[in-house]
Structure 1
Amino acid sequence: MHLPVTESVPMSIILLDIGNVLVSVDFMPFCRAVAVDPVSGAEEIFRHYCTGTLKEKLETGLIAPFEYLAAIARDPLAKALSLHDLRQEWQNIFEPLEGALEAVRLLREQHAIWIMSDTDPLHFTFLLNHYPVLKEADRYWLSFEHGRMKSSVEAFSHLLERSGRRGDEFTLIDDKAENCAAASTAGIRSIQFRSWEDALQQLWEQERNG
């Protein structure tokens, strides 16, 4: 993987998603470890706690992390686990994504790196401590701190307002089409992530074409 050198162009900012861009994410190990019934119960745990409105409240700071875990602990679908054990299982959903660290270091040669992620404090702290690729970033823009999910245009408008920068100074790399669409509406270029080879090629083409 490589990025061609661009001449006389001010350093722009890459907004990097975390999940399925820097690391792979799979909630099912958590669901199977927590559910009384590791099949149907795991699916119910996933629907209740790993997607949807309740999880969004966690990721926008409306619910405290241990309040969230306590709600899972009280659920009849869940085994009798301590909050400590639940926290460990909640964090046990990530794996390294091949090529991510190399790609981010290449990007840093010509760009500033800001991580922009829909996440919660438990996940982010774990990732920062266990995945060196996150420490390559210059800045972190996190949903639980700013109260907005990337599927909303407001998340990107808020970013521009608070940073004092223009939309054309940023490029978002994110695996979700709805997040890319929201960024584009706010005037920020986006690349829907499929692989690092593809993302770097798209970025080079965008920058070559201005």
Structure 2
Amino acid sequence: MTATPIKAVVFDIGNVLLEWNPEAHYDAKYGEEKRREIFASVDLAAMNERVDRGEDMGELARRLAADHPEWHDEIMTWHEDWLTMCSPAIPHSWRLLRALRGKGIPVFSLSNFGIGTYEIARAEYPVLDEFDQGYVSGHLGVIKPDPRIYEMLEEGSGLSGAELLFTDDRADNIAAAAARGWRTHQFEHPEGWAARLVAEGLLSEEEAA
């Protein structure tokens, strides 16, 4: 039986095209011990999830800081230093995205990302304007790994899971995609992703370098 051809490649953004490591930034700014205390005292991850669902980061940060005045500056760091946390770029992944598009293979994004923060990132990272279709959680109002966000991409693109190859750094996001029949690759480093694209016959080794 002939395998269904891949008709589009889907990229996560954080830790695939751009590094995203708030803990490392807080460690550098405050020290690891204090960072652990901050993160144990204030649920910054929950705040960020609300941003990814479409709420405004500045407003949420100010509200959380007012609720926890003892951590006011540390909470506002998330807002004020957001672009520093969302860095640096992962250049090899950018090259892979562009190589795919150069061969006429559609490339989509599927990312947990806020509305305002995505605009900040777009101004800094031109690759974010190069997707053929973009699926950003803040605009969709649903985040990975909710099955609905994968369904929305299928509906928007007109493609089935078997026609999609998806890379993401998180195992839960990969599992949710695989459950819908998507082909998947858990991203650990761009070299592994490049090898997968070569193995699928989408790029040559030279194109994937």
Partner residue of 1:56? 49
Contact 1:24–1:97, Cα closer than 8 Å, also in 2: yes
Partner letter of residue 181 of structure 2?
A: G
User: Unmatched 5+ residue regions in structure 2?
Assistant: 203-209
Q: Distance in 1 between matches of 2:176 and 2:123?
A: 30
Aligned amino acid, residue 122 of structure 2: L
- The answer to whether 1:27 aligns with 2:61 is no
Q: Which amino acid aligns with 2:58?
A: F
| Structure 1 residue 124 displacement after superposition | 1.2
Contact 1:11-1:112 within 8 A present in 2 as well: no
Contact 1:100 1:133 in 2 (8 A): no
Equivalent in the alignment of 1:176: 170
Residue among 100, 111, 121 paired with 1:107: 100
Q: 1:68 aligns with which of 34, 39, 60?
A: 60
Shift in Å at residue 153 of structure 1?
A: 1.9
Aligned-partner Cα distance in 1 for 2:70–2:28: 12
After TM superposition, give the deviation of residue 180 of structure 1 in Å: 1.0
| 2-structure distance, mates of 1:26, 1:50 | 13
Structure 1 unaligned regions, length at least 5: 1-8
Q: CA RMSD in A?
A: 2.9
Among residues 124, 127, 131, which one is paired with 1:137 in the alignment? 131
| Cα distance in 2, alignment partners of residues 67 and 95 from structure 1 | 26
Aligned match of 2:11: 16
Give the drift of 1:31. 3.5
Deviation at 1:165, TM superposition (A): 2.4
- Give the helix-richer structure, 1 or 2: 2
TM-score scaled by length of structure 1 = 0.78
2:175 equivalent to 1:199: no
TM-score of the aligned structures, taking structure 2 as reference length: 0.78
Amino acid at match of 2:96: A
Asked if structure 2 preserves the Cα contact closer than 8 Å seen for 1:21 and 1:100, the reply is yes
- When structure 1 is superposed on structure 2, of 25-34 and 176-185 the one drifting more is 25-34
Deviates more, 1:72-81 or 1:113-122: 72-81
User: Once the 2 structures are TM-superposed, how far is the Cα of residue 77 of structure 1 from its aligned partner?
Assistant: 3.8
Change (3 A) 1:122 1:32: farther
1:115 is paired with a residue whose SS is strand
Cα 1:55–1:80, aligned 2, differ >3 Å: closer, same or farther? closer
Q: Deviations over 1:107-150 (max 9, x none)?
A: 21231111110111233112111112222212210111112222
Q: In the TM superposition, what is the alpha-carbon distance from 1:96 to its structure 2 partner?
A: 1.5
State the 1:202 CA deviation.
1.4
What is the percentage of aligned positions where both structures have the same residue?
25
Counterpart of 2:200 in structure 1: which amino acid? Q
